[in-house]
Homo-oligomer: A and B are copies of this chain.
Amino acid sequence: MGLTEGSTGVAIVVNLEEERGRKAPSLDALSALVNDDLAKVNATIVERMHSPVELIPQLAGHIIAAGGKRLRPMLTLASAKLCGHSGQRHIKLSACVEFIHTATLLHDDVVDDSSLRRGLASANAVWGNKPSVLVGDFLFSRAFELMVEDGNLQVLAILSRASSVIAEGEVLQLITANDTATNEDSYLEVIRAKTAALFAAACRIGAVVADRPKVEEEALDSYGLNLGIAFQLIDDVLDYSAKQEKLGKAIGDDFREGKITLPVILAFRRGDDEERGFWRRTLEELEQAEDGADLRHAIHLMEKHQSLQDTVKRARHYGAIARDALGIFPDSPAKTALTDVIGFCIDRAF
């Protein structure tokens, strides 16, 4: 949307202006669909992060209340609805998915030395790394307790597998960090594991609680996996995007940490020796001008090589796979809502 083949970096800004009149794809249909359930999920989250050790609900509440979109638990709720689940099991399991996600966020922020999370001070910035590691462990254990209460071994297998895949992906990302030789496939392997695996699991368990045939489970897994990849690719674009800055969010976090994301990989591979020297200095050696000149130059190089636009194109590719994965389900409000999520995840880039 708003970007055409051959558009230049400058065109991004122009097109963004043009987009203003258009109604952007949103999470509205999803929110309307799962609103009542989500209130129950939030109540379960508050109830289950309780501990007599007060720092635990304080710290967990900080990151959980700070909001975020609750996208992953909403996906579980909508997937369960899509599959005609009429019970209440999806409530607890959605809370469980959010706990796993929150635990990984807490540990991520420690590993990345992040000081901000969703525009607020990160938990590690407020309380230090130590409680963030331990409260992450607590939430992770709590997630497993919730699953065990549900008692479905298939759900347990899906979510415990997703958890170890996420941890594997995080380690892989740590190893490939600051390595400009990383190629697109290695990068995809990382985001499949660290981001998309939980999206896939969150959706798949919707079919499992509804006791649907394997083909539907796998369709929702594929939907979630590809949606997750698209979501992460757009996240990576937003870190260099003017849109993000307009929303008052910081840009350049990935750049400052030397993270090798797809926009960097494309710009690096399409650049000349001098440009590669620039990327090596700034992202491998982490020698960066303090006045932001290097970040501006990085964005300039990305615009020159259309690497942001092409990352969005790649995201659209995965979004299309996600859309087709839903093809086996008959039309329903849940299907519409899940389809809209794809557009939302991609179009937030503009």
Interface residues of A (CB under 8 A from B): 51-53, 55-56, 104, 107, 110-111, 129-131, 133-138, 140-142, 144-145, 147-149, 151, 153, 156-157, 160-161, 163-164, 166-168, 170-172, 174-175
- Complex CA–CA separation, A53 to B52 (angstroms): 38
Q: Among B144, B157, B168, B174, which residue has its beta carbon within 8 angstroms of that of A51?
A: B168
- Complex CA–CA separation, A151 to B154 (angstroms): 10
**Is the Cβ of A171 less than 8 Å from the Cβ of B110?**
no
**Is the Cβ of B135 less than 8 Å from the Cβ of A171?**
yes
**Is the Cβ of B137 less than 8 Å from the Cβ of A170?**
yes
User: How many Å from the CB of A159 to the closest CB on chain B?
Assistant: 8
Which of A145, A163, A168 has most chain B Cβ within 10 Å?
A168
- Complex CA–CA separation, A145 to B156 (angstroms): 8
Q: Among B53, B147, B153, B157, which residue has its beta carbon within 8 angstroms of that of A171?
A: B53
- Jot down 23 A-B pairs with beta carbons below 8 A, ordered by A: A51-B168, A53-B168, A53-B171, A56-B171, A107-B133, A110-B130, A111-B130, A131-B171, A134-B167, A134-B174, A137-B163, A137-B166, A140-B140, A140-B163, A141-B163, A144-B160, A144-B164, A145-B157, A145-B161, A147-B160, A148-B153, A148-B156, A153-B153
User: What does DSSP make chain A's interface, helix, strand, loop or mixed?
Assistant: helix
- Complex CA–CA separation, A93 to B139 (angstroms): 22
- Quick one: closest B residue to A110, CB to CB? B133
User: How many Å from the CB of A214 to the closest CB on chain B?
Assistant: 18
- Complex CA–CA separation, A175 to B131 (angstroms): 9
Residues of B within 8 A of A148 (CB): 153, 156-157, 160
Q: Among B131, B136, B140, which residue has its beta carbon within 8 angstroms of that of A174?
A: B131
User: How many Å from the CB of A126 to the closest CB on chain B?
Assistant: 14
Known contacts A145-B161, A148-B160, A157-B148; is-contact A137 B167 (Cβ 8 Å):
yes
- Complex CA–CA separation, A256 to B310 (angstroms): 54
Known contacts A151-B153, A157-B148, A171-B135; is-contact A142 B130 (Cβ 8 Å):
no
User: How many Å from the CB of A151 to the closest CB on chain B?
Assistant: 6
**Is the Cβ of B133 less than 8 Å from the Cβ of A145?**
no
**Is the Cβ of B164 less than 8 Å from the Cβ of A145?**
yes
Residues of B within 8 A of A144 (CB): 144, 156, 160, 163-164
